[in-house]
Structures are given as C-alpha cells and as structure tokens.
Homo-oligomer: A and B are copies of this chain.
C-alpha cells in the first residue's frame, strides 16, 4: 500500500495533535483539524490503512490513535530533510549569557537555559579533547613537601595537581625542573611522550627522577582523561510535565538515570564518531535511544565544537511526542550562539 500525500497529511496531523494534548486522537478531531474538508468516516478509512502500515496504533479498541516509533521516524526524517536555512542566531532575549571564565560553567548555564526554553530535560558533555598537545607545565613549591603542578594544554585547558614529593625542593631546583620539563615536553601529545624522552630527561637531571615521574603521571592524567568526560544535566524535573513519563516507577527511573549520568554516556558514544554535518543533529526515537530507562523518550543531540577538533554533545531529552521542530530549531540556534562565543573567545 502506498503512502500518498493525503495519508501523510493525516499522519502529521495526528502527530501534531498528539503532541499538544497527549491524548489519543480520533477521526472527528482530525476532520476538523485538516484544511481539506473530509468526513470523519473517510479519515477513519485512511487511519485504518495507516495502522495497517504500522505508523499509528490504538492503545485499545475504541480509542483514538497514537503515532508509533515508525510514524515519528517518518515525520522527523521528512522534517529534517526540508533543510531550512540554519535559523539565523536570532537575538534571543533569553540568551544573555554572562561571560564566564570556565567553559564548563558556560555549558552548564547553557543546559539550564535550554531546559527552561524547551521544557524538556537536557544533558551536556564537557568538551572532549583528543590528541591534545601539552602547552606548558608550571611547577611551584607549596611547602610541606608538596609541589603544585599546573598543566596547561592546547585550548587553554588548565589542570591543577598537588604532588606529594616528600621533600621541599629549593627554589632553584624547581626552576631548573620547570625548564627541563618544558623544553622537553611542550608541544607533545600523550602519545609523543616516549620512554626515550623520559629517560633523556632523567639523565639530564638524575637527582629528581622521582619527582619527574610524579609530574609525568600528573601530565598523563591531565591530558588523557577523555574516557571520563563529565556529563551535566539540567531540567530533570521537566519530565513531570509529561504523564506518559511519570506513570508507575518511570519517573523514579528516569530521574535516577539523569542523576547518575553514566548511562547517558551511551548516547554520547553511539553518535560519537561520525560527526559530519555542521552541528550533526541526531534524533533518537523511543527504542532507538541507547539507554534502557529511556525507551519511552526521544533524544535529540547536537555537537558543539571549540575549534581544533575539541568537541562535545548537547542533548535534549523529552517524551516521544516532543516538539521535534522546536527542539531542532532551538538546538541549531544555540549551537550557532556557542560557535560565536567560542570564536570570540579564540579571537581575543
């Protein structure tokens, strides 16, 4: 059976209606809703066909119809293929983001704003740095046998490590070590730091081999932490606005997942590798969501980029009947904003 234009129109009408009300929608409703004049009976026939094709179902006999995952998929795909111009980063009044120093704070704020604007839950990963180069290391004595190692890597990511070295080094030794480390290591990635370089350094300053080891550990930890990317969430309580997500223990499960955050890593990973389009918007519907407790949800993700291949994901989590159009638009405009902010940041 073919999906002619009329059937498609009816399907979309059902989806949009269900989006608004959350109730199964019947033939009379659609009849009034459509621009073309068709009687409920005709609609019924078409709906019967749509059901047979698997785009809609009845929760029970004599109820209206609701869209299936397949129905949503069709709708979303056709929506995404109408590639609208990328929604110029309008002067959204809600978007007055104060300049914050730390990228992470900016991202968390972003998640909050998105949650407030969309009425769905949001997640956002910290930036993921791969093949990051070391910019420089700065050691400072702290007294009490402690040494502060500040590791700065490409993209101006700063990490602090307090090292316990058991002895207090002289000011001069620290200076010498600083010099030694920086002249040997700066510009290298984690993979570049070979055993050869390490032994060379230890040769040059045999006295502090132990300290060098500890510093290297700190460096490694600072650069190679791309497997535990932090995930932040916001707007979790928004799910209470959608009864289909809160029945039974669902609310509890969902909130737990959002609090634990680890399971959300699946979403990041599943879409992780193939980022091609500008912001690489991806939509997961129902069973497609790679998180067990979210099979009643849909998730829309987008990728942001800080430049130099450093990137992360933003995700919007809502019921399957979420307003995909609005979510995609909002996400796209947000991404543009982010791009501008990060550009400015790099330019300065």
Residues on A facing B (Cβ under 8 Å): 101, 135-136, 138, 140, 142, 144-146, 148, 150, 152, 156, 158, 160-162, 164, 234-237, 240, 249, 251-252, 255-256, 259, 348
Assembly stoichiometry (copies): 2
Neighbouring B residues of A142 by C-beta, 8 Å: 135-136, 152, 156
Cβ contact of A140, chosen from B144, B150, B235, B237, cutoff 8 A: B150
- Is the beta-carbon distance between A145 and B255 smaller than 8 angstroms? no
- Is the beta-carbon distance between B140 and A148 smaller than 8 angstroms? no
- Is the beta-carbon distance between B150 and A138 smaller than 8 angstroms? yes
- Is the beta-carbon distance between B240 and A252 smaller than 8 angstroms? yes
- Is the beta-carbon distance between B240 and A249 smaller than 8 angstroms? yes
Neighbouring B residues of A160 by C-beta, 8 Å: 150, 158, 160
- Is the beta-carbon distance between A251 and B240 smaller than 8 angstroms? yes
- Is the beta-carbon distance between A237 and B249 smaller than 8 angstroms? no
Q: Which 3 A-B pairs have the closest CB atoms?
A: A240-B252, A237-B256, A158-B160
Query: With the chains together, A237 CA to B236 CA distance in Å?
Result: 11
Residue of B nearest to A139 (CB): B138
Query: With the chains together, A231 CA to B259 CA distance in Å?
Result: 15
